[in-house]
Amino acid sequence: MCGIVGYVGDRLSQDILLGGLGRLEYRGYDSAGIAVVDAEGALHHRKRAGKLQVLRDDLQAHPLADGNIGIGHTRWATHGAPNDENAHPHLADGGNLAVIHNGIIENFAELREELLDAGVELLSETDTEVAAQLIGREYARTQDLEQAFRAVVTRLEGAFTLLAVHANQPDVIVGARLNSPLVIGLGEGENFLGSDVAAFVEHTPRAIAVGQAQVVVVRKDSVEITTFDGQPAEGEAFEVDWDASAAEKGGWSSFMAKEIAEDPEAVENTIRGRIAEGTVHLPDLESLSEEYFRDIDRILLIACGTAYYSGLTGAYALEQWSRIPVSVELAHEFRYRDPVIDDRTLVVSLSQSGETMDTLMAVRYVREAGAKTISICNTQGATIPRESDAVVYTYAGPEVAVASTKAFVAQIAAIYLLGLHVAKVRGTLADEAIAEIAEEFQAIPDKLREALEEHERIATLANWMSDTRSVLFLGRHTGYPIALEGALKLKEIAYIHAEGFAAGELKHGPIALIEPGQPVFVLVPSPRHEDGLHAKIVSNIEEIRARGARVLTVAEAGDASVLPYSDEVFAMPPTSKFFEPFLRVVPLQIFALELSTAKGLDVDQPRNLAKSVTVE
């Protein structure tokens, strides 16, 4: 989960590389580096521990020689501490070869031994340097970077995207990928490489996603793709459908603040054209026949982190509407327990990035077991959608902050689209019922806008609570996964203890945590719903209130029943039962954002985390 960028053309590569790294910094930000080859065929590099700004400052103070070809890297450490030595690029072949890498080379220990036995001096603790030295030794033998790559990549196990430049071949970047992403950006008389399109979208929207186990040779006016064993191959060409300004902070204090404010558009754009004329239209699923949807007897949602919570949230409506049993699994747990899967199981993966390794591996596992897979994904050309039988893209736009927000609401929207599609095909919802749901669905973006109006009040609360050491979250039904998501947001960016519970579970243990002053967010459903849950959660509020909890309620506007027991009430517009999670999560996202800000923390780049977890 590092960011990788490459450039070859007529422009000065350094600025382009730093620009690309700036957009990829969300993938890792503990060190950064670049290497360029100048017109005389000399390789220059610089790398620094710390955020990209440290490297930028260093380059400004001590400029590197100019060149029209280069590679750049921003790191999230796996092997070796985040220091200057372990930062990329790593050099080999007497300092003439520079290599950058994303992923984990699992057999690096044995390869490292081999190099040490051969007397090679290694300067870092990284698996990347091992790859660089192996390529360097092959280069010394073949004097050809592509051949050197081919000889080495088949020896590497695990996950890698590698890019390299060599001083003796100042017109070419060679790259390879296995289980880790690589995208080419096609320019006019120049070409780009990146971990994702954000690396080059300000220069070109034309892209090619490099396939699994492929080698690429990129010059300023040509791109060649081959398999590891040298057979001609093709990547997947596509056009990026957002422009660079969508990934800019604009006037916002943080990307997370901007992205929460974009919750309404994330849902609006995801349902646009798909919910119309009182029904659902999902041509995205054409590759799976109606007969297939009639035959399935189980739906399994797999994901990690926030995407997993969107799965837990969406599962309620999906099961209710389709009348098919739905289960939700953490991708990394699921595939190690020999799960029962067959061709009547529909597996739906959820991933903002489409590159989460745990989720990708689970997708591969279930496909081998004979199941069909649908990817719900926010990133065009990513690996998971490309390896799935069908994809329902979410249109949340690029999400840069590590803490996922707008992608979460868009994912729930996509699960609901799928649920309506399956219900329509199987006839488990009447047309009138679908029309009623469709109408409420279309109203959600505006209701999200209303929900966002509570921002100032929540910010005031968060400022007041900046010394808080622990916050609990309670919910029932869809409020339960929203409680889990609220707690995750707070842990991630405010670094405080936070836990979400099913409110019904309270008396089975967690109520022992309640002591005077303990802040507890409670997600209260509408009293208008006829399922009795409102009364139950009001009882839970009374129980914690009686023990001194500070009760922070998110409830429907006008719900007077919670007022006597709440220290604060955040009022959400009324909606039907399954649409409440869209609105209930908003105050929790804002609260995490504002508490992190009040504590003076880096909201967008929290410690120890990276946006895209491309290692298992």
> So which residues are the catalytic ones?
2, 611
Instruction: Decide if residue 404 touches ligand M6R (CB under 6 A).
Output: yes
Q: CB 429 → ligand M6R: shortest distance, Å?
A: 28
Mark residue 278 as left, alpha or beta (left: phi above 0; alpha: psi -120 to 50; beta: remaining): left
Does position 357 interact with ligand M6R (CB under 6 A)? The reply is: no
- Which CB atom, from 421 or from 489, has the smaller least distance to ligand M6R? 489
* Residue 304 C-beta: closest distance to ligand M6R, Å: 4
Print burial letters for 446-462: b (CB count within 10 Å at least 16), e (below 16).
ebbbebbebbeebbebb
Contact indicator for 554, 520 with CB cutoff of 8 Å: no
User: How far apart are alpha carbons 230 and 262 in whole angstroms?
Assistant: 45
Q: Cα–Cα distance between 67 and 42 in angstroms, integer?
A: 9
Are residues 415 and 322 in contact, defined by beta-carbon separation less than 8 angstroms?
A: no
- Minimum CB separation of residue 28 from ligand M6R in Å reads 13
The minimum distance between CB 292 and ligand M6R, in angstroms, equals 25
User: How many Cβ atoms sit within 10 Å of the Cβ of residue 323?
Assistant: 12
Smallest distance, Å, CB 288 to ligand M6R? 22
Q: Rule CB under 6 A: which of 543-572 touch ligand M6R?
A: none
On whether the CB atoms of residues 224 and 216 are closer than 8 A, the answer is yes
**Local structure of residue 508 (DSSP, 8 states):** G
Shortest separation between residue 401's beta carbon and ligand M6R, angstroms: 8
Query: What residues does 34 pair with on adjacent strands?
Result: 46, 72
Cα–Cα distances in angstroms (integers) from residue 307 to residues 227, 264, 495, in the given order = 32, 18, 20
CA 411, CA 309: separation in Å to the nearest integer?
10
Nearer to ligand M6R, 346 or 396 (CB): 396
Largest CA distance in the chain: 80
Out of 31, 352, 394, 614, name the contact with ligand M6R by CB under 6 A. 352
Window 485-514: residues binding ligand M6R (CB under 6 A): 492
- Count of residues touching ligand M6R (by CB under 6 A): 15
Amino acid letter, residue 59: L
- 313 is a site residue for ligand M6R (CB under 6 A): no
Going by C-alpha positions, the residue among 412, 402, 286 that lies closest to residue 348 is 412
By CB under 6 A, the residues from 597 to 616 that bind ligand M6R are 612-613
Q: Cα separation of 276 and 201, whole Å?
A: 31
Interaction of residue 413 with ligand M6R, rule CB under 6 A: no
Tell which one of 31, 86, 345, 356 touches ligand M6R (CB under 6 A).
Answer: 356
Contact code string over 271-310 relative to ligand M6R, x by CB under 6 A: ---------------------------------xxxx---
Stretch that binds ligand M6R, among 108-116, 345-353, 413-421, 438-446 (CB under 6 A): 345-353
Which region, judged by CB under 6 A, interacts with ligand M6R, from 30-38, 160-168, 251-259, 348-356?
348-356
Residue nearer to ligand M6R on the CB measure, 354 or 573: 354
- With respect to ligand M6R, which residue has the nearer C-beta, 178 or 613? 613
Give the nearer residue to ligand M6R in terms of CB position, either 138 or 259: 259
Instruction: Select from 257, 403, 522, 595 the one that contacts ligand M6R (CB under 6 A).
Output: 403
Taking the mean position of all CA atoms in its chain, how far away is CA 108? Answer: 27
| Among candidate residues 176, 50, 165, the one with its CA nearest the CA of residue 102 | 176
In order of 3, 74, 157, 485, 611, the CA distances from 52 in angstroms are 11, 7, 29, 30, 16
β 69-75/31-37 pair status:
antiparallel
Q: Which stretch binds ligand M6R (CB under 6 A): 214-222, 278-286, 349-357, 584-592?
A: 349-357
Q: How far is the CB of 352 from ligand M6R (least distance, A)?
A: 3
The CB density around residue 579, as the number of other CB atoms within 10 Å, is: 23
At its nearest, how many Å lie between ligand M6R and the CB of residue 361? 12
Cα first-last separation, the chain: 10
In 532-612, alpha helices (H): 533-546, 580-598
In the bound state with ligand M6R, the residue whose beta carbon lies nearer, of 139 and 308, is 308
Matching residue, tokens 């009324």: 574
Q: Taking a C-beta distance cutoff of 8 angstroms, is the pair 359, 388 a contact?
A: no
Quote the least distance from Cβ 264 to ligand M6R, whole Å: 19
- Residue for token pair 């994901």: 303
Q: Which residue is nearest to ligand M6R (CB)?
A: 305
Nearer to ligand M6R, 96 or 375 (CB): 375
Residues sharing a CB contact under 8 Å with residue 616, sequence separation 6 or more, in sequence order: 104, 159, 332, 357, 358, 361
Dihedral sign from CA coordinates of 55, 60, 63, 67: positive
Closer to ligand M6R by Cβ: residue 396 or 452:
396
Judged by CB under 6 A, the residue of 353, 383, 566, 597 near ligand M6R is 353
Considering the complex, what minimum distance in angstroms separates the CB of residue 405 from ligand M6R?
8
Cβ neighbours of residue 330 closer than 8 Å, sequence gap 6 or more: 302, 303, 304, 308, 358
**Based on CB atoms, which residue is closest to ligand M6R, 207 or 357?**
357
Q: Which of 402, 410, 438, 572 binds ligand M6R (CB under 6 A)?
A: 402
Q: With CB under 6 A as the contact rule, which of the stretches 235-243, 397-405, 440-448, 557-565 interacts with ligand M6R?
A: 397-405
Nearest to ligand M6R of 135, 303 (CB atom): 303
Local structure of 382: helix, strand or coil: coil
Contact set with ligand M6R (CB under 6 A): 304-307, 351-353, 356, 359, 402-404, 492, 612-613
